[in-house]
Structure 1
Amino acid sequence: MRLLTYILFCFLTMGVFGQETEYVTSTKTLKLMGTRFDITVVAINQDIGQINIDEATAEIRRIEALISSWNPDSETSLINKNAGIHPVKVSLELFKLIGKANQISQITDGAFDISYASMDEIWKFDGSMKRKPTDAELEKSIAKIGYQKIIMNENDQTVFLKEKGMKISFGAIGKGYAADKAKELLISKQVVGGIINAAGDLTTWGTRPDGEKWLIGIANPLSKEKIFSWLPIVESSVATSGNYEKFVVFDGIKYSHIIDPRTGYPATGMNSVSIFAKSAAFCDALATAVFIMGKEAGLARINQLPDTEAILVDSDNKIHKSSGILFETTP
């Protein structure tokens, strides 16, 4: 459900961090979790930097093995296979991640829901659709969706999907979570700064080698080359959901690939949503949810959350922002 965002970041390739030690940036682009990851670290030399990047890469692959619903041997696949049959004991890490996902479902009134994977694939965004699905088809498609049907037993550390055919997937939170965990690992190894960009789910720590803040540019979703604001990011994360490429049009209405799990209908009215918060996983999930919730409900909810901000671009290409975003401009 997620699309590579048009969030850009810049950094200096070499500089001085502090007054005594010279630092450089090491960067590597890889395909992980089926998408593009750009990993940048600040290190005392390129060799150490590449070692750090390899460590982050191994951590991302570990997360993928844990949460992938495509891997038949993963804990997630085991939960899905036993839907409607019996609970499955899982690792504490996966148990906590599912709990975090359900909490986000609660605060977004179900606009974010990892059980969306239960939905029948009746919407196609490859050019093959000739008509909208009927109401009956949509109702049948979403029948097994509902985070309330994900039963968690804290004492036994088990997860149970109540109905046969139910599935969970971490497509709208997994990349952000992997970026968070890789960042956490590198910080534990005293890596002084860096950026992990998981196809637009981006998290930073420390500063550039010259001591300056990392900057990200928010781009106009209808004009990829035009940036309407550069924002400093300090020990924080950002994620964007957008409808730039995957969509269909029926009766003059544009339907994006981001589908509301409560109705089965694609979200309308938004071009992009960027969320700023500490956790990339939280940003990842909220970007999808706010895109679905829409301008009014989405911004109202963001303004209720501590240390969380948003920039929205609606279908008329007008910018809307939460109370903590200070710039004044239009794309």
Structure 2
Amino acid sequence: MYNYLKKFGLSLILSSLIGVIYLTGCNQATPTTVEPLSRTEFVLGTVAKISLYDHQSEEILDLAANRLHELEDTLSINKTGTLIDEINNQAGIAPVQVDEDTFKVIERGLAYSELTDGAFDITVGPIVKLWNIGFPEARIPSSEEIKAALPLVGFDKATLNAADSTVYLKEKGMQLDLGGIGKGYAADEIADLLRSQGVQHALIDLGGNLYTLGTKVDGSLWNIGVQDPFNPRGKIIGRLTTADHSIVTSGIYERYIEDEAGHKYHHILDPKTGYPYENEIAGVTIISKSSTDGDALSTSVFALGIEKGLEFIESQPDVEAIFITTDYKIYITEGLKDIFTLTNDAFTLAN
């Protein structure tokens, strides 16, 4: 008998200067005193909230909500009848023709799979389904089950044909899982949609994928609080200031299952072993222009550890990171040293 634990969404808190607390994701942003027009939707497996600060337009929010549900109908693996579901069902049988969104997300996912040498791998679906962490059916699979599933994981066994816009998984039983990149792509798409409608000041929160569109209405930067991974939502380790950036956080505290001995198995799975990553990292926050990039990278660096993870992020253009370790140390990339402030005495800035 296992205890099932799920922390719904992640831990994002958006608090305004008038004291309103908005709980849904991984970070904390302090908006302006301007009251936004907001829309909340349950989509892509999380609570999404879009807040417009310079356009009081329900029509724009309708467009954004419809776009989110359109992407869910295409990219989700938890809904039957989606294109991803069809690709998985046709694994080892036949290529599947897909739409532009699906092709682009899979193409980006495979590029990151190659860049990270499989540390991030969108074909990890068979392993994810075994554990089912974050769902009522979550369980700890046997070593035999994991051993049997591992040969079905491998980004090099997924092929794309741009001319025909098809995707093919070469072995029966293979499964794509876009959970590590899909919400990032959706956040970027919503940001582009809002810009096309003339919106210049907005917050997009897709359950931990936060996008700060433009600055605050008064021209100042957004203040983002980074969640303390060891305490309830709303407790932060520090703040950073930014505008027109994506902030994505992954952590071992988000979703996990616990066995009878009290050992916790978190949801960030190693595609090469079939088990959760085990190292000193408790949480990673990626700051980037692209939320798609941030989503993939926030998962990828768990495989690398602190030293190699920092080195890898420093090699990526326009990307910064905050690493939080299990011994309460914080490591940040060079580009954050002037815009990140540690505010929690329980933590030590280590570099």
Q: Which TM-score bucket, shorter chain as reference? A: 0.7 to 0.9
Q: Contact 1:79–1:161 at 8 Å: present in 2 too?
A: yes
Match in the other structure for 2:19: none
Q: SS at the partner of 1:237?
A: strand
What CA deviation, in whole Å up to 9, does each residue of 1:198-226 have, x standing for no partner? 11101122222222112210122112343
Q: Contact 1:179–1:196 at 8 Å: present in 2 too?
A: yes
Deviation at 1:71, TM superposition (A): 3.2
Q: How many residues align?
A: 318
Q: Partner amino acid for 2:31?
A: F
Deviation at 1:57, TM superposition (A): 0.8
Match in the other structure for 1:321: 332
Structure 1 stretches of 4+ moved >4 Å: 124-132, 249-254
Q: Partner amino acid for 1:31?
A: F
Percent sequence identity over aligned pairs: 36
Match in the other structure for 1:296: 307
Match in the other structure for 1:211: 219
Written as runs of structure 1 = structure 2, the 5 A alignment for 1:94-173 is: 94-119=102-127, 121-123=129-131, 133-134=142-143, 136-173=144-181
Written as runs of structure 1 = structure 2, the 5 A alignment for 1:267-306 is: 267-269=277-279, 270-306=281-317
TM superposition score normalised by structure 2: 0.83
The RMSD of aligned alpha carbons is: 2.5
Match 1:260 to one of 270, 274, 278: 270
Deviation at 1:155, TM superposition (A): 2.2
Q: Contact 1:3–1:241 at 8 Å: present in 2 too?
A: no
Identify the range of structure 1 (122-131 vs 33-42) with the bigger mean alpha-carbon deviation: 122-131
Identify the range of structure 1 (175-184 vs 114-123) with the bigger mean alpha-carbon deviation: 114-123
What CA deviation, in whole Å up to 9, does each residue of 1:229-286 have, x standing for no partner? 2211211101011121524369886532211111101012221111111111211111
Match 2:240 to one of 220, 227, 231: 231
Q: Contact 1:120–1:142 at 8 Å: present in 2 too?
A: no
Q: Contact 2:287–2:321 at 8 Å: present in 1 too?
A: yes
1:115 and 1:3, CA in 2 relative to 1: closer, same or farther beyond 3 A?
farther
1:4 correspondence with 2:10: yes
Unmatched segments (≥5 aa) in structure 2: 1-5, 12-25
Q: SS at the partner of 2:105?
A: helix
Match in the other structure for 1:76: 84
Distance in 1 (alpha carbons) for counterparts of 2:206 and 2:304: 24
Distance in 1 (alpha carbons) for counterparts of 2:74 and 2:314: 33
Unmatched segments (≥5 aa) in structure 1: 15-23
Q: Contact 2:240–2:341 at 8 Å: present in 1 too?
A: no
TM superposition score normalised by structure 1: 0.87
1:325 and 1:190, CA in 2 relative to 1: closer, same or farther beyond 3 A?
same
Match 1:188 to one of 171, 196, 201: 196
Q: Contact 2:180–2:299 at 8 Å: present in 1 too?
A: yes
Q: SS at the partner of 1:94?
A: helix
Identify the range of structure 1 (156-165 vs 208-217) with the bigger mean alpha-carbon deviation: 208-217
1:40 and 1:152, CA in 2 relative to 1: closer, same or farther beyond 3 A?
same
1:266 and 1:223, CA in 2 relative to 1: closer, same or farther beyond 3 A?
same
Q: Contact 1:67–1:75 at 8 Å: present in 2 too?
A: yes
Identify the range of structure 1 (228-237 vs 191-200) with the bigger mean alpha-carbon deviation: 228-237
1:117 and 1:131, CA in 2 relative to 1: closer, same or farther beyond 3 A?
closer
Distance in 1 (alpha carbons) for counterparts of 2:9 and 2:118: 21
Q: SS at the partner of 1:223?
A: coil
Match 2:322 to one of 305, 311, 318: 311
